[in-house]
Each structure stands twice: as structure tokens, then as C-alpha cells.
Amino acid sequence: MNQKIFIISAALGLLLVLSACAGSSPDRQGDSASDPSGGVSSETSAVWKLSIAQPPEKLEYEEGETFDPAGVVINAKMKDGSILENVAYEGIIVDQPLTRTSLFAKFVYGGETVQQNIKVTLKGNREEYSVASTQGIADSPLAGKVIFWLGSSVTEGASSGQESMADFLAKKHGAQCIKEAVSGTTLADRANSSYVSRLDRYLASDERAGHVDAFICQLSTNDKGFPDGFGAVTPADVRDAAAFDTATTFGAMEYIIATAKDTWDCPVYFYTNPPMGDENYETMVQALEELAEKWGVTIIDLYRDQAFNDISEEEQALYMADSIHPTKAGYREWWLPKFEEALSGI
């Protein structure tokens, strides 16, 4: 069980006695500024602020490891303007063991703290799971296929060093993946970074692909925060891209489908996230299912596929950085096979 650890080397007389019996604490550095009577000395009570003169030797960890303060040098600037160098810090506030959300350790001295930032890598983002470590397939039927990806943070690979299933597919199969992905953006045209706006800009640019073999769009998890702006699925006979209200989520989805079909006359896919316990996203999935029937769109279904989602807690921890974003291992080992299966016929 993870907990926040606050190590105090000397605060009460009783603790001093116990500390003397046990020997000096490995977490103490430099000269002690504690009052022998067991209280805080006048020296430490006059601390104005702390600074890190020399950071710990180790600043990068993998989740599950223990923070090591070895090598740190803390200086204390006193209220009278003097500076105490290499003070014996009285404690460390840090997660032990370190987790994926551990961002810093705080050193305590004289009632003040100073923060040292640290980097904690997820096990699922180890180099062994990276695109660089992924082996290619000779003579893959997807080799040379042009696949356009439109999405936000999940398509981008926001929690995996910008490596997503698009990048793994390109490396493994030799496909040409065009990844138009920006974190935090919505399908609905709420800003100039929306899915709709970015697709329009791409189509108007000199970089526009003349041919695309498959168009894949993410059912954005960002839109679930705006249920009042979902809009409605239009009747079956409404097909003109200009007829859709792109300021709404469902209108934007229809606009994107119609535009992709009109532009490239290629198969259109939407993919969903695995369940995240959000009723608004459930509503979006239901609307997507209606749109798929109307437009002949293929859903790469990570949401309702029970067999796909039947993984252990250990696998969940390895594959997902949080409830929405996969790690490199999650993309490569868990998600990629679903995309390979869906795209096998293009």
C-alpha cells in the first residue's frame, strides 16, 4: 500500500533517545541544527527559506522504487540574512514506494520545505515496449498503405512519449500513418484546434494526401465533458457535409465522416476507449453505433468488447497510465491487435 512518508529525525526528546540507541539516521545530511533539549533550536526557528545547492544523485525512477536522497545538499537562508550550508534536513515528504503520480520529494528543515522534482517512469513505458524495440513484419499486407488518424491525446500517445497504435502499426507493418492528433481537443468545433478545424486545415494544405486507404477517427473522451453540446444524429437521408452542425459532437462526427468519404472515398473507422465508468461517454458510444449503421462506418470497439477488457489488475496497471491513456505496452500488446484485425482487409 502506498503512503506519503514524512521522516522526522529529531523532534521530541524521546525520539532523540531512540535515535541515539539505533545510531544515526541515513536520511540526515550535513551538520545537525537540532536543539539537544529535544525542541527546535533558535537557529532553525529563524529559517526564512531553503534551497537545494546540490540535487540528489538519482532523480529518475521507475514506479515501485524507493526515493534515495543520497548526495543532496540543502542550504538554509536565515531571517537575519545569513546562510547555513549543508544543513541536516529533518525529514522528507515523498511517496514510498514511488507511484506514477509521484512528481517530487520535499525536504524539511526549520519548519520550511524545499521541493526537488523527480521523474517516475511507468513500467509500461519501458524501452522494451517502445516503437524502436518493435520488430517489423516482412511482406505485410499493410505495407505502404496510407492511413489517416484524426484524434486527441489517445491518438497522440500523450502518456507514452507520443507513441500510439498509429506509430506501432507503421513500424510493424510498414504502413504510412498520417497522425493528426492534439491533446485536449474535441470533436465538436469549439476551438481552432478541434477535430473539425484541424481536418479542414489539413485538407486545404499542400500536405494533403491525394490517396488514403483508411481513415480512423477517435471517439474523443474530451467531448464527454460537454453533454449539453452533444446534439443529435440526423435522419438517414441527410448526407451533405454542409448540413451538419459541427458545433455539436454528433454533428461534428457526421461532418468528419461525410468529408472523409467525399475526399478519399475510403473506409472510415471510429475507435472507442475501453470503459471508464462515464455515462456521458456511454451516450457517445450509443450515438456512434447509430452513425455506424447510417454511414457504413466500422467501429473498432474497445468499449463493449468483453473479451478484450477481461484483463488482470496487473495487466491493467502495465497497460494504462490512467483510466483513459495507455502506456507503450498498452498500445503495443493490448490495443494494436484490435487495429490490425480491423484493418486487415483494406
For residue 47, the model assigns a pLDDT of 95
Judged against a pLDDT cut of 60, whether residue 33 lies above it is answered with no
- Domain final residue, candidates 84, 99, 121: 121
Q: Is there a single domain that holds both residue 214 and residue 271?
A: yes
CA-based angle 191:272:256, to the nearest 5?
Answer: 45
**Neighbour count for residue 199 (Cβ, 10 Å):** 22
Distance CA 128, CA 88 (A): 40
| Residue 125 and residue 132 in contact, taking contact as beta carbons nearer than 8 Å | no
pTM for the whole thing?
A: 0.80
Choose the final residue of a domain: 72, 98, 121.
Answer: 121
Q: Is the pLDDT of residue 264 over 60?
A: yes
pLDDT digits (tens, 9 = 90+) for 155-207: 999 999 999 999 999 999 999 999 999 999 999 999 999 999 999 999 999 99
φ, ψ for residue 260, nearest 5 deg: -60, -45
Q: Which residue, 178, 204, 222, 193, is CA-closest to 324?
A: 222
- Number of domain units in the chain: 2
pLDDT 10s digits, 164-175: 999 999 999 999
Output the pLDDT for position 15: 36
Same domain? 160 vs 90? no
Burial class (CB in 10 A: 0-12, 13-18, 19+), 121: middle
Phi-psi region of 36 (alpha: psi -120 to 50; beta: other; left: phi over 0): alpha
Residue 144: CA count within 13 A, CB half-sphere? 3
The amino acid that residue 92 corresponds to is: I
Q: What is the CATH number of the domain that holds 53?
A: 2.60.40.3630
Q: Tell me the C-alpha distance between 141 and 161, whole Å.
A: 27
Q: Find the CATH number of the domain harbouring 200.
A: 3.40.50.1110
Q: Same structural domain for residues 189 and 317?
A: yes
Cell representation of residue 278: 462515464
- The CA distance from 326 to 321, in Å, is 5
Instruction: Give the three-class secondary structure for 128.
Output: helix
* Percent of the chain whose predicted confidence (pLDDT) is above 70: 87
Query: Domain containing 230: what range?
Result: 124-343
Tell me the C-alpha distance between 313 and 334, whole Å: 14
> 272 and 209 in one domain?
yes
DSSP character at residue 205? S
The answer to whether 283 touches 230, Cβ cutoff 8 Å, is yes
pLDDT greater than 60 at residue 98: yes
**Burial call 168-186: b when 16+ CB within 10 Å, e when fewer:** bbbbbbbbebbbbbbbebb
